[in-house]
Structure formats: structure tokens, C-alpha cells
Chains A and B, each alone.
Chain A
């Protein structure tokens, strides 16, 4: 298995990101490092969901993870 990535249209439309141009996450790297490396956007704009769960930025990506990207759109 390899890491799967899905950038949801709500995010790609808002920030103009084409999923096919974004590098895939690698097992063993942290979400924070991946997002920085990928050029996908700013941490504060991104909600990362791994295997249907919201996880902290220091989460280490595993081989069979499914990583989904949404716009953060959460604030008080």
C-alpha cells in the first residue's frame, strides 16, 4: 500500500490547487513537513484529515494512510 492523497474540490477551488501537481505524502514524514514540502498552501488554511480523523500537525504519516485536504474554515 502507498499513501493516498485527496485534495477536495472545496480546497482546490478556493486556493487554486491542482491535485495532479502536488507531490504525494511519504510514509515517515510529519504532516507539517509534508504540507511545507508540497507547496500546497499555508498550514492555517488547511484541514488535514487522515483516515477520516482530524490529527495534530506532528502526526507521522504511515504507509496505508488516506490523507484528505479540506479548507480549514473553522473559527470562533
Chain B
């Protein structure tokens, strides 16, 4: 079928073998591409016995049918593996240009297993693939590696690589793309998986045309949707994701002081508007994107001079700003720049620093424990110093680099200060503000993830008319949170598999539009109910993977702080989510039992009957 090559590159780093893996077309039809196909491969190649940092754990890059085409915002790819941070299913959806290059090289994906004896990189030039020693790159940061590859192979060479944090197996290490423009595969610690394989980089040059099935139909859809998307998403174009920061504080969404209170007037100092007015140089566009939400910033003078490249996203501002009470935009940009260079997740890094600040305040960590750093709330110096230590895995950074769940296992009395689900730190959206996020975080297959359901989109301005949500859901409706998450998670799974940015939901894209693009690209007409079923199938596949790892209802939880501590701000008042009734509804709609295990009939209905043997 058009939209995929039917070829995935398999590399065994232990002995350098390579082969072409050609999945049956039915795999692409069932799991669509990207996230779905990668989850299928991970399921087949790993299980509870697999050590996340062991050579047998596969690290999988996957594109989707839309990658490499002009479908708006389709310049994305998925990276999937068993997570060393959470010990369960792990995946990241990343933007930039790497996915497009990989697709244009004639590959739908790359699976890497094994471990090289020496640091190596993989060079893909269309059909030509080789493994090279990467000793000269080991110890270098992600910006350098990207620049090095571009210098060697041309400006169209795109790189997926780790910085020093991945080399040092920091559990919150990320995989970086696009050099200083830093499109990060941030979550789940997949940079450490790459480091464990002694793999520094995958560099790709792709020059093939990615054909689509029906050009005329495709152009009709483009003409209909592009102006609407650009018009509705002016905010994202002008302000980036940071544009929502001040609004988030007003609504009660922004984490403040490690999630323990609401209301933080200093937020205006770190807003997208402030960024646009001060350090913003220009927009950055991922491949095939008409919006350009990426921020390209520059700081040329002052204490934090030297930043040149990706500006902080909303999540970064939330975790390094609000959660740490740091209101210095330039310092946050500097700390984020360190994360981008060394390759760590800014959500986990900011969360770890916020938790360390609270531990410091409560006397659970001393200044001595923190290598002499005075980690008081709001200290920009402490934020930057601790970030450096995390990224370099030095001193106290070794503790903070474990992520908040890991920290709480070591710092006596700190468990209640670690705000995470299944070991993954909460991103900067508060379930006390958007109540649907409660069940969204609790049930996301990779831990606390805002994008697995993006449920909060549908309490703002986005809609899913095909599934009965033709208007945004008013906050605190009371009831229906489970059903909304069911539909939203299925739809997000499809977007992650076909490869499309979820921000397009704000631009009026929904299941109907996705079906139209799918038909134009692949040549297969597909109905909304079929695409929704594929999303449901993909979600259940990942859930069964986690069930194999012992995940049950007890793990579908929220941090105590979120459940027991109201923000007491204007946006949210005294609301705290009550999770159990939401979970009951959710499990019922999903066709899972009371303990969160998919029923055999559910798997049969979704064409996943072969997974029944993994049910308890």
C-alpha cells in the first residue's frame, strides 16, 4: 500500500548484522504505522524478562503513513522501547525532520537490538546502511553531533542522537533531533536505552519521493483544511506552546511549587508573550508544518548569555518555572538549553528540581546533600546548577537524575512529594483543573502523560463531533470522564500511528479529516468507526504489554498530593478529583474487568485474540 514502504531495517549491534524486515501488510492495516506498529514489534520482541538497559531490549524508530507527505504536521516519528524509568511500555512521539528523512530514505522504521563493544553510530544513506565507530563523538553534546553529521553528509542529513546524559545511562535521558532546534523524544528515559547499546547516533540521508495514492483528493483536503488550521492556530504560531502559560496559571492548570498550591502572579514573567517580546528570534517549523509553534530564541548578554536555539516549551516553563517558582525566563531557557544539549527530559528534570527544593525546605535534603547548592524556592541559580548536575550525572545529580519516583525511594520521608504515575512525572497539566486528566494520567500506558489522551484539549476549545463531543466539555461536568478518555486515547493513538501533531485538534482536525487524508495517502477508504477501532486496538495492545508486567488497577492511580490537596486558587477552588468512579466508568467502556485487565471478549473483538494467553 502507498504510505509505507513495507520495509523496516533491523540491526543487531552485537555482531553488526543487518537485515530487512518486511511485515505483512496486515500489520500496517491493523496497527496503522508509527506508535501502533512499534508497539506490536516491542510486544513480539520483549517481555517481563527483558532488562530495559539490556542488549535484548529493542529500540524502535517508526514513521507512519503520513510521514514524508505534505499532510500538515506529519513531520513526526515514534521511538518505542521498554522504559528504564518506569519498567513498562515506553514511547515518545517527536517532531522535527528526522522522521521525514527516514521515510525518504526508503525505510518505515529501524529496530536496533544488541550492544556494541565500542561507541558507534548508524549511517543510513537511502538503501546504504553502515555502522561506524563513534569514539570521537562520545562525550559530545547533541548539538555538536547534529552539526558534525550535517558537515559530513550535507544539510539534509537528519540525526537522532544522545548527549552525555544518555551515554551515562541517566534514567531520564532523552533522544535529541534537529540540533539546536531540539525536537526531543523526551519521556521514558529512552536516551539511556540508546546509551546502553553504545549507540551515539543514527544519521539519515533520504532523497526518495514518498508517493501518495490520490493526489487530487489529497489537494482537495489540503485546500479545505490548511486555511482553517492556520487561522485557528494563530496563537500557537505567534506564541508557541508557551502562549498558554499565563492562561494556565489563571485556570489553575500550571503546577505551582511542586503542585502544592495554586496562584502564581509571577507567571507573567515567563509567558509566551514575554518571550515574544524579549528573546524570540523566529519561529521554528517541523517538516510539513504550516503552524511553526517552535521558538528559536537567543540570549546574547547577561548572566544567562549563550542560549541560541530552541526556546522553552510550555511543559518546560511549567516544570522549571511554576513548579520551582523560578520566574526568570532567561534562566529557564538556559536550563532547558542544557537539557537539550546533554539530552534529558525537561519535564522530569524540572520535576526533580522542584521535588529537591521541597526536600530542602523540609530538611529531607541538606545543602551538603546538594553539593553546596542553596536550593531555595525560586532560585534560578539552583535550577541551573542542579540541572547541570543531573545532565552530567555528577554528585547530587545522580540522585535527581533517577526521576521523582526514584528519588522518593532513596530520600526517606519524601514519598508524598514525588508527583508521578507509574514512575513518570506529571507534566504541567493539573487534574484539579481539567478533571478528565485524572483518568487520563492514571490510565496512560507510559505513565503520567498529557498527550496519550490530550483530554484537556476537549475541555478547552477542541471537539470530537464524530464521538458525540461537538462542543468542548465544560470543566467539572461530573461524570463521563471515562468515556471521553476512551475516545480521546483511541484518537490520539491513531494520530501517533499515522503521525500527525495533536495540536491540529485546535485547528479543527478530527477523525473525519484524518480518514480523508488516510484514503488519499494510502488508497484505502476507511470509516471513522474503523479508525476508532484501530486506535482502541493499539491502546489495548499496549495495555496487555503492561498487564504482562503486572500493571493493574492499583497502578492506575494519582499522586496523593493531587487527590488530597486543593489548589485553592481562583481557577479551581477546592476541587480535587475522585478517581475511583472515573476508573469504574473507564474500565466498563474499555471492556476491561474491575482490576483493569482487558476482557478476553474485548481482545477478540479487536482482532487481538492471540494476546489472550497473556491475561492473568
Pairing of A with B:
yes
The one of B232, B238, B244, B250 in contact with A54, judged by C-beta atoms closer than 8 angstroms, is: B238
B247: nearest chain-A partner, CB-CB: A44
Asked whether any CB of chain A lies closer than 8 Å to the CB of B246, the reply is: yes
Asked whether any CB of chain B lies closer than 8 Å to the CB of A37, the reply is: no
The one of A47, A71, A76 in contact with B313, judged by C-beta atoms closer than 8 angstroms, is: A76
Query: A73 and B246 in contact (CB under 8 A), knowing A56-B268, A57-B273?
Result: no
Asked whether any CB of chain A lies closer than 8 Å to the CB of B99, the reply is: no
Query: A43 and B250 in contact (CB under 8 A), knowing A54-B243, A73-B235, A75-B460?
Result: yes
Minimum CB–CB distance for A72 against chain B, Å:
5
A44: nearest chain-B partner, CB-CB: B247
Query: A75 and B273 in contact (CB under 8 A), knowing A43-B250, A54-B238, A57-B268?
Result: no
Total B residues in contact with A, Cβ cutoff 8 Å: 40
Query: A72 and B231 in contact (CB under 8 A), knowing A55-B277, A57-B268?
Result: no
Cross-chain contact A74 with B273 (CB below 8 angstroms): no
CA A76 – CA B566 in complex, angstroms? Answer: 23
Asked whether any CB of chain B lies closer than 8 Å to the CB of A26, the reply is: no
Instruction: Give chain A residues whose Cβ lies under 8 Å from the Cβ of B435.
Output: none
Report B202-253 residues with CB < 8 Å from chain A CB: 231-236, 238-244, 246-248, 250-251
CA A22 – CA B234 in complex, angstroms? Answer: 21
Minimum CB–CB distance for B527 against chain A, Å:
28
CA A9 – CA B456 in complex, angstroms? Answer: 23
Report B305-329 residues with CB < 8 Å from chain A CB: 313-315, 318
Binary contact readout B417-435 vs A (1 if CB under 8 angstroms, 0 otherwise): 0000000000111000000
Minimum CB–CB distance for B212 against chain A, Å:
28
B450: nearest chain-A partner, CB-CB: A76
B238: nearest chain-A partner, CB-CB: A54
Cross-chain contact B248 with A75 (CB below 8 angstroms): yes
Instruction: Give chain B residues whose Cβ lies under 8 Å from the Cβ of A9.
Output: 231
Asked whether any CB of chain A lies closer than 8 Å to the CB of B86, the reply is: no
Binary contact readout A49-76 vs B (1 if CB under 8 angstroms, 0 otherwise): 1000111111000000000001111111
Cross-chain contact A56 with B236 (CB below 8 angstroms): no
CA A72 – CA B276 in complex, angstroms? Answer: 15
B241: nearest chain-A partner, CB-CB: A76
Cross-chain contact B277 with A74 (CB below 8 angstroms): no
Identify the 8 closest CB pairs spanning chains A and B, nearest first: A76-B314, A74-B243, A75-B244, A44-B247, A76-B241, A74-B235, A47-B235, A73-B506
Instruction: Contacts A54-B238, A75-B241, A75-B457 known; list 5 others, CB within 8 Å.
Output: A43-B250, A45-B247, A53-B276, A72-B247, A73-B507
User: What is A's interface to B at a CB cutoff of 8 Å?
Assistant: 8-10, 14, 42-45, 47, 49, 53-58, 70-76
